[in-house]
Chains A and B, each alone.
Chain A
């Protein structure tokens, strides 16, 4: 979706309360938001959080002028995550991550699977500890596999600035992982 298409949909939602336009925005953004929430919330909370985000997004778009849906939706997502933690402080692990429904490796699983599982868990933990901008950039580019142009549009940066930003984000993530391993 390019900027013009998004502005068209935002106009339809704000001025005409167009449900079809909102459904198109939903289909465009739900996947990245789902990943963003999965990294920070327990699995059982993610769907509720996602629906909360879109309810608030509808209320916001129909009430005010919005320039960038991606930025706004991630801002709302951060607020939803923060609300969850405020209500559930005593369930937080020391590192600030929610208690995960972890699956212990079984004897039947090969060593490689166990190593892969540990590696993935480590990377997820490190991503969760990044600041929101870096986390969003990594999710959009490497997990959602969006082209640089689209990532730049959603982050409201130029393509050059986005490449620099991503390079820095990966560097920070790598440092984070190296520290976790130590």
Chain B
């Protein structure tokens, strides 16, 4: 199925029930009624439109939130610096989402950005602040804060916002200041490596609820890397330089090494899953899935040889496009392997069962065979 066909199918079939269209016309009201009952809202709120006074109140509140409060907190921060309260500023710098001084920290960062007029320096500052958000996510994930998941989500959202700002600046610089864009792209590419290391190291610290936030952050980091590489490739195509060619080669080798490592890791995981299934005598149930994964993985190693030849011949753009395609395929392989691993491990947990207490206070252990029978029924 071609991409255009797929898009047409989605648009054509959007009203089918399978995709959540053509739902019962009473559904929205039913759900709203349920929400109102649980939260204590009235079913039919006042239908009058908002008055000018309502909008004025909102405007006043926005001025307070967007200007007066940050300015006053920034002034407080400035006063603290001037008065030499280093301890207080260290506390501000070390504050986390949810802390009292966190808004001071963010306000200080905003003020710093406002005071920088050079695009490249502003982007580098954004990158530094994004780094702080990542550290905050890491610290929060290890903390015992009550609202840990929500605060990690907040830090993740702010990280993505920072990355979006960097994207916009880089896109602007690419047309107006190509040399500066190139310098920034190189810095970004190295920074992305650091972000990736931090995320890999703290992967197990994040709760299940925050896994998707982490995926969002990883996607933002990958987008940034792609954009940075695109800038460097474009610059090399426009104004070829030996130094830029060397930078591209360094990035290329790093990407190829990362892909090769992921391919090897996936192959090892396939072997481990196969052994686990053989021990459980369930291999026949998942043979097809494992074969699909192997079929997807096999051509990737072959593609790497072609890739290296292409790069050596100067086909930079195409080489990096192929790298992206390989990474996409690896993402799918790794996700499928994770699904299999989770399925195997959850089914294994189900075989460990406590004694069941009966009417006569006797206990009886249910056999594994009986449990499996119950599950299949």
Q: Do A and B come from one complex?
A: yes
Residue of A nearest to B1 (CB): A177
Tell me what chain B mostly uses at the interface: helix, strand, loop, or mixed: helix
Asked if B157 contacts A67 (CB within 8 A), the reply is yes
Partner of B164, one of A142, A161, A179: A161
Q: Which residues of A are found within 8 Å of B19, using beta-carbon distances? A: 35, 38-39, 120, 124, 143
Q: Is B249 an interface residue (CB 8 A)?
A: no
Min distance, Cβ B69 to any Cβ of chain A, angstroms:
12
Q: Which residues of A are found within 8 Å of B292, using beta-carbon distances? A: 179, 182
Q: Is B55 an interface residue (CB 8 A)?
A: yes
Asked if B18 contacts A47 (CB within 8 A), the reply is no
Tell me what chain A mostly uses at the interface: helix, strand, loop, or mixed: helix
Asked if B28 contacts A174 (CB within 8 A), the reply is no
Asked if A174 contacts B11 (CB within 8 A), the reply is no
Q: Is A113 an interface residue (CB 8 A)?
A: no
Q: Is B62 an interface residue (CB 8 A)?
A: yes
Asked if A132 contacts B212 (CB within 8 A), the reply is yes
Asked if B31 contacts A51 (CB within 8 A), the reply is yes
Q: Is B278 an interface residue (CB 8 A)?
A: no
Asked if B346 contacts A89 (CB within 8 A), the reply is yes
Q: Is A105 an interface residue (CB 8 A)?
A: no
Partner of A22, one of B3, B41, B375: B41
Min distance, Cβ A168 to any Cβ of chain B, angstroms:
8
CA A171 to CA B47, docked complex, whole Å: 44
Q: Is B358 an interface residue (CB 8 A)?
A: no
Min distance, Cβ A64 to any Cβ of chain B, angstroms:
7
Q: Is B339 an interface residue (CB 8 A)?
A: yes
Asked if A120 contacts B38 (CB within 8 A), the reply is no
CA A82 to CA B215, docked complex, whole Å: 15
Asked if A11 contacts B58 (CB within 8 A), the reply is yes
Asked if B328 contacts A172 (CB within 8 A), the reply is yes
Min distance, Cβ B224 to any Cβ of chain A, angstroms:
10
Q: Is A69 an interface residue (CB 8 A)?
A: no
Map CB proximity to B onto A139-172 as digits: 1 under 8 Å, 0 otherwise. 0001111000000000011101100110010111
Min distance, Cβ A180 to any Cβ of chain B, angstroms:
9
CA A142 to CA B6, docked complex, whole Å: 10
Q: Which residues of B are found within 8 Å of A23, using beta-carbon distances? A: 32, 45
Residue of A nearest to B168 (CB): A158
Residue of A nearest to B215 (CB): A131
Q: Which residue, of A8, A145, A158, has the highest number of chain B Cβ atoms within 10 A?
A: A8
Asked if A124 contacts B18 (CB within 8 A), the reply is yes
Partner of B20, one of A35, A59, A71, A96: A35
CA A173 to CA B9, docked complex, whole Å: 13
Partner of A142, one of B7, B17, B62, B346: B7
Min distance, Cβ A25 to any Cβ of chain B, angstroms:
11
Known: A11-B58, A11-B61, A35-B20. 12 other contacts (CB 8 A): A51-B31, A51-B35, A75-B153, A82-B208, A94-B285, A94-B286, A120-B18, A124-B18, A143-B21, A158-B167, A165-B223, A177-B1
What are the 7 closest A-B residue pairs judged by CB atoms, nearest first? Answer: A35-B20, A38-B20, A142-B10, A51-B34, A20-B45, A19-B45, A143-B14
Residues of A whose CB lies within 8 Å of any CB of B are 7-8, 11-12, 15, 19-20, 22-23, 26-27, 30-31, 34-39, 43, 46-48, 50-51, 54-55, 58-60, 64, 67-68, 71, 75, 78-79, 82, 89-90, 92, 94-96, 119-121, 123-124, 129, 131-133, 138, 142-145, 156-158, 160-161, 164-165, 168, 170-179, 181-182
24 A-B residue pairs with Cβ-Cβ distance under 8 Å, sorted by A, are A11-B62, A12-B54, A20-B45, A35-B20, A38-B17, A38-B18, A43-B17, A46-B20, A47-B27, A51-B31, A92-B343, A96-B339, A120-B13, A124-B18, A131-B219, A142-B7, A142-B10, A161-B223, A168-B328, A172-B331, A173-B6, A174-B6, A175-B328, A178-B1
Residues of B whose CB lies within 8 Å of any CB of A are 1-3, 6-7, 9-11, 13-14, 16-21, 23, 27-28, 30-32, 34-35, 38-39, 41-42, 45-47, 50, 54-55, 58, 61-62, 150, 153, 157, 160-161, 164, 167-168, 171, 208-209, 212-213, 215-216, 219, 223, 285-286, 289, 292, 295-296, 328-329, 331-332, 335, 339, 343, 346, 350, 375
